[in-house]
Amino acid sequence: MQPICLTFDNGPEPGVTPAVLQVLARRGISATFFVIGQKLLDPVRRALAERAVAQGHLVGNHSFSHGVPLGLRAGDEAVAEIIRAEAALGVLNTQRLFRPHGGGGALGPHLLHAAALRHLQRERYTVALWNAVPRDWDDADGWPARAQTMAAAAREPLVMVLHDLLPAAMAQLDRVLGRLADAGHSFTQAIPGNCIALHQGRLLCEAAAISREENAP
């Protein structure tokens, strides 16, 4: 069985994130939360990110507004999305982690504008990608079965993308984690190398696989 690295995108949300943190604490699982910088301007949401860190989770940069993927924006806009989010995060992003917005979980050059990639390299970020997207955000009932199928079929360590956004989807989190554990899966906070595109500024894949220049097709 391959280990599973749990990640949660697009939070924090007051109506969802506390329950997710409770489930993770009860099961002794450490995860990584890739947060939207704009949300941290709200003191209640920032407190949730701080709570996650206090409980041993990592918090990373998931852009400021989570709008159009950064590879589809102008270079200066894409860089600003990263910088503004990092300013909002401050000391919370202890590992200099960044995750691009995939626009539905897809990988490809739409993830980053080349200027944003160069910024991430200069600032020695680690860029975390993914290889398991059970689509909890648009199928609250169906995602648990997909998550279990993905885990059972995995031939390499998994980075699973979930979202601490929708109460109905995350209400099933404890049950899913229990079934994965019963099936023999372990959980790790360490993002496996097969899902790291940039490690502390060092590019581990072809730049063209995750970024594009202005007006590139």
Q: Give the model's pLDDT for residue 214.
A: 76
Q: Residue 103 corresponds to which amino acid?
A: G
Q: Which of 158, 108, 100, 103 is nearest to 125 (CA)?
A: 100
Question: What CA–CA distances, in Å, run from 68 to 101, 102, 110, 117, 149?
Answer: 8, 9, 9, 16, 30
Mean pLDDT of 137-161: 97
Please, where are the H alpha helices in the chain? 17-27, 43-54, 75-89, 114-122, 143-153, 167-170, 173-182, 207-210
Radius of gyration of the chain (CA): 16
Instruction: Please give the span between the terminal C-alpha atoms of the chain, in angstroms, as a whole number.
Output: 39
Which DSSP category does 144 fall into? H
Mean pLDDT, the chain, rounded, equals 96
Question: What domains are defined for the chain?
Answer: 4-212 (3.20.20.370)
Whether the model clears a pTM of 0.95, i.e. scores above it, the answer is yes
Q: Give the model's pLDDT for residue 176.
A: 98
Each residue's pLDDT tens digit, 23-59 = 999 999 999 999 999 999 999 999 999 999 999 999 9
Q: Give the model's pLDDT for residue 203.
A: 97
Burial 73-106 (b: 16+ CB within 10 A, else e): bebebbbbbbbbbbebbeebbeebbbbbbbeeee
Q: Is the pLDDT of residue 188 over 70?
A: yes
Q: Which of 187, 192, 167, 164 is nearest to 177 (CA)?
A: 187
Chain position carrying tokens 């997207």: 133
Q: Which of 72, 82, 78, 73 is nearest to 106 (CA)?
A: 72
Question: What whole-number distance in Å separates Cα of residue 60 and Cα of residue 185?
Answer: 25
Question: What whole-number distance in Å separates Cα of residue 159 and Cα of residue 136?
Answer: 14
Each residue's pLDDT tens digit, 195-206 = 999 999 999 999
Q: Is the pLDDT of residue 217 over 70?
A: no
